[in-house]
Structures are given as structure tokens and as C-alpha cells.
Amino acid sequence: MSRAQAFRWHKMFSEGRTIVEDEERSGRPSTTRTSDNTARVRELVRSDRRLAVSMIADEVNVNREAVRRILTEELGMRKICAKMVPRNLTEQRRDARVRVCAELLEQVEDDPELMERVITGDKSWLFQYDPETKRQSMEWRSKESPRPKKARMSKSKLKCMLVCFFDSMGTVHKKWVPAGQIVNQFYYKDILQRLRKRVMRVRPNIVTNWILLHDNAPAQAAFSVAQFLTSKGITVMPQPPYAPDLAPCDFFLFQKNKIGSEMTPF
């Protein structure tokens, strides 16, 4: 507040003024924020919620500030961005997800150690190597020590496919797919045979009742793979399509490895 304004307020309070709000005063009546314009703006927004304020102003023939005030003050609206999700689920997929999750909750209530017997597996493309970041190369040095030097390295342009299985205790089995090899039902069944032998060696406490959790990819959902799992007595946990809470590989393991995290289970 300026010095002159402070003197004016002091004079008004000395003369008996007791409030600081502006008093009502006459002025030009509003010709833009009318009920008709508000109704037209509401109809336009409901017909297309991505309209810009300038487009609405041209359609209603009022200035943009008036349209903005109608939207925010009269209609109580605000323009927000869409929330990014991995996949928009259909009603059938949502019902299947609710049903499977409810069944799993009942099983966990009956058997609290159920999740400790689950082995999760999936495959993903990873870079062959990640260059060491500047923060990862930090060292403790005294003031007299010279600063270490590090040659610049570009990120690997070659990728390899990794098939990994892990549980609550850590990695159970991993397999780097050779270049040019397609992960079909026959190759995936061979990986499962190796996984079964690996479980016998590193998880002897759950060798008779461990549960496999993998996604619904064509190789995993093949009839020969299901027949092999049934013949070996391996239980498969159902996984609804695009369920992030039942796909920890996509939303935990591979995500950390793809951003070069130091917390790698390998």
C-alpha cells in the first residue's frame, strides 16, 4: 500500500468507518455473464469438453475473460488432463478382475502363507548394458585429492530378452534368450522344465506346492504348456488381463531394470 493510500484509510477510519470491504457502488451492468450466455457455454462444453476458451468465446460472441469466469465461477468447472493408465479395461475384464481378486483374498485368509509360495515370471527386452551414471561414480575424497575422471559411454543399442522368475525371497531362475530365438510354446516349456529343477534346488520347502504366476501371452497360454503344468502338478494362479496388481514383473522388476536402478536382483 502506498503512503497516500494509508493516509486516506486513516482519514476514513478517523471519520467513523469500521469496515475494510468495498462499499456497493453503481456501475455499468454486466452484458456478458448473463443467464443466456451461461446456458450457451454449458451446452457447448457438454457437447465437446475439449473446446478451448477462445473457441467458446468466438461461438458465444463474448470476450475470453468473460467465458473463463463463466466456466470457473458460474459453472464451477476446471480443465484437467486425462489420467494415464496402462489400459482401459472393458466391463468383462473388470468383472473378471474383481472375481479373481475376491477369490485370492479368500484363499489368503484361509492360508496366510499362500503368497510365500507364489513364483512370478515374465519376459522383457533389456539393454545389454547401462553406462554408469555420474551419481553412481561418486567417491569420497579429501580436499587435496584430485577429482576422478570417467570416460563418456553411450547407452547400449542392442537389446536382449530376459525371462525371469522370482518370489518373495528373491530370484529363482533367469534365462537370457539367445539372439534370433523366438519364445514360443516349445521354448517356454523348456524354460519351465529348467525352472522346476531350479525350484527343487533353491526352494526345497515349497517344491511340492509352489504356485506359478505368469501372464496370458500366447506362449504361456498354449495348450502344450498347460498340459505340461498339469502333468507336473504345478498350480497356476489366474491373472486377469492388464491387472497391474497381479503383474509385478511389469510394474516392479522390469521397470527398475529399464531405468538402470542399482537395486537389481541379478
Render pLDDT for 189-245 as a digit per residue (tens, 0 to 9). Answer: 999 999 999 999 999 999 999 999 998 888 988 999 999 999 999 999 988 877 766
Task: For 117-136, write each residue's pLDDT tens digit.
Answer: 999 888 888 776 667 777 77
**Nearest partner of 249 among 161, 145, 187, judged by Cα:** 161
* Collapsed DSSP state (helix, strand, coil) of residue 228: helix
pLDDT for res 259 = 46
Domains annotated for the chain, with CATH where assigned, are: 33-80 (1.10.10), 91-130+155-258 (3.30.420.10)
AA letter at 142: S
CA separation for the pair 55, 62 (Å, rounded) = 10
What is the Cα Rg of the chain in Å? 32
Task: For 170-196, write each residue's pLDDT tens digit.
Answer: 889 999 999 889 999 999 999 999 999
pLDDT for res 130 = 67
Task: For 85-122, write each residue's pLDDT tens digit.
Answer: 667 788 888 888 889 889 989 999 999 989 899 998 88
CA separation for the pair 57, 189 (Å, rounded) = 63
Lowest mean pLDDT among 10-14, 214-218, 258-262: 258-262
* Collapsed DSSP state (helix, strand, coil) of residue 158: coil
pLDDT for res 28 = 56
Task: For 15-62, write each residue's pLDDT tens digit.
Answer: 988 888 877 766 655 567 788 899 999 999 999 999 999 999 999 988
C-beta neighbour count of 144 within 10 angstroms: 5
